Amino acid sequence: MKLAILGNSPLALETALRFHLNGAALTWYIDSDDLSGFTSMKLPVFHFTSDLGIGILQEINSSYSPVVFAWKAWEEGYRNPLINYLKAHQEVKTDEVLSVTKRFLAPGEQISGRSRFLDLFRIIYRVNPSEFIEEQKETNPETYKRLTEEVLNSLTTTIEMYQDYDLVLDFRSDLGKASASVTGRALGEGRKSDKINYGLEALKASLSFEPGPDLRELAIIGSDSLAAEILVSLEDWIREPRSRLFIVSAEEDPFTNFLTQGNPQTVNKLKALFEHIELEFENEVETFTRKLREWQELDDFVQVKIPRPTEPIPRLNYFSGHNVTAMDELIDRKRVFLTLEKPEFRQGKKHPENNILDLKTIGVDYILVAYAQKNKHLVELDAGEAGYFNLTPSRPNINRGWENDLVKLEGIENEIFKLFSPAGTH
């Protein structure tokens, strides 16, 4: 069988190893996802490995035996040697996948008396022409000699190519750019801004944020595992007394799901951060209440000389159950504004006092959008298309995510081997 594996996750690597050893002819399309920003928890020493991978390393006289897990050590000692091993036996590409379709069948089209599985899958991908030319120079020297100077000069832009496959295993992550709105689009979101980051880029940006006069107010949109990781990475910024954070989420009680599914270390850090901010605000309210009482007990002629104590404003504000419906930026580009709305059918259980107005606008210095989706590669296939297997890897801070993914992978293997027999079994 000829199959394509899409994705740059540890799960995609594991899948490529398994099907290589089962006799498949495979092409692995590696995208650019980088999960090393997930640093809130100490992963088990041999996380993102398998007995199969360790065994292959031993066969090629390599080893991976870390004392503690670290992303760089995992990449250098485990991932990279295994990718090089696969390159020696299979096709490994770093080209961008543009689309996944059937070769001839349109979505919904049926073949009389036959399954759609009869038609092959077609993957169209973008090739860097300079890399392609160098590849021809090495692998097809005769073809390269026939390339005229005119042809070589014409290859100044990227070119598109395709390959056809029996099976497609899509293990691309869901950390690509999505919308700030759960509906998939907010008014004005198409404008480019240097004050907004999405998905994995939002996490990377948060790792470098420091308290300062140009970054006093920040909005995080979303409340899943990615938003939790961003929050934990912002701990130093959040603990600065002059920082103010807005969390906007369609979830009625933000972070409820993550607090039950997340890695315990990340969950504990997140809880501690929330408790710190809540306790800080409670102390400010208590101080305000005391000072207000003292001010109210003053004589009238004294009150007019002493300002009334200022009521504290919480540094953490939730807009739960809300949608981002519009985004805008002023001409001076110093602030970016979000228009928020909460539908009647959705409750806002966290900070319900923010539910009073139907429409509200908040202005911040920066926006981090934690909503993410699979990279926007076109997949035009029927729902449940035979031969197309789609598994989004668990994010690293989900409890037992790797173990659960391996179980799901075994299920996919079983389904595939019902369709094909490994080489040499006939």
Question: Which residue stretches of 184-254 are H helix?
Answer: 199-206, 225-233, 235-239
| Two tokens, residue 172 | 């691309």
Position 13, amino acid: L
Confirm if 250 and 346 have CB atoms less than 8 A apart.
yes
> Domains, the chain, ranges and CATH?
2-174+374-419 (3.50.50.60), 178-372 (3.50.50.60)
**Rounded-to-integer distance, Cα 208 and Cα 201, Å:** 11
Q: Strand pairing of 2-6 and 196-198?
A: unpaired
Beta bridge partners of 367: 196, 219
CA 200 from centre of chain: 5
Position 140, amino acid: N
The model's pTM: 0.86
**Rounded-to-integer distance, Cα 338 and Cα 189, Å:** 10
Maximal C-alpha separation, the chain: 101
Specify the pLDDT at position 150.
53
Specify the pLDDT at position 398.
96
Specify the pLDDT at position 302.
86
Residues of the chain with pLDDT under 50: 423-426
Specify the pLDDT at position 146.
67
In three-state secondary structure terms, 169 is strand
Specify the pLDDT at position 90.
96
**Rounded-to-integer distance, Cα 69 and Cα 47, Å:** 7
Specify the pLDDT at position 378.
86
Confirm if 4 and 121 have CB atoms less than 8 A apart.
yes
- The DSSP annotation for 240-282 comes to STT-EEEEEESSSSTTHHHHHHB-HHHHHHHHHHHHHHHHHHH
Beta bridge partners of 359: 341
| Two tokens, residue 311 | 């009521």
Name every residue whose Cβ is closer than 8 Å to that of residue 376 and which is 6 or more positions away in sequence: 176, 177
pLDDT for 62-75, tens place per residue?
Answer: 999 999 999 999 99
| Two tokens, residue 294 | 């003292």
| Two tokens, residue 307 | 């300002």
* 225-233 vs 199-206: helix crossing angle, rounded to 10: 20
Specify the pLDDT at position 340.
96
**Rounded-to-integer distance, Cα 216 and Cα 195, Å:** 13
- The DSSP annotation for 343-368 comes to -TTS---SSGGGGSSSEEEEEESEEE
Specify the pLDDT at position 157.
63
Query: Would you say how long the chain is, in residues?
Result: 426
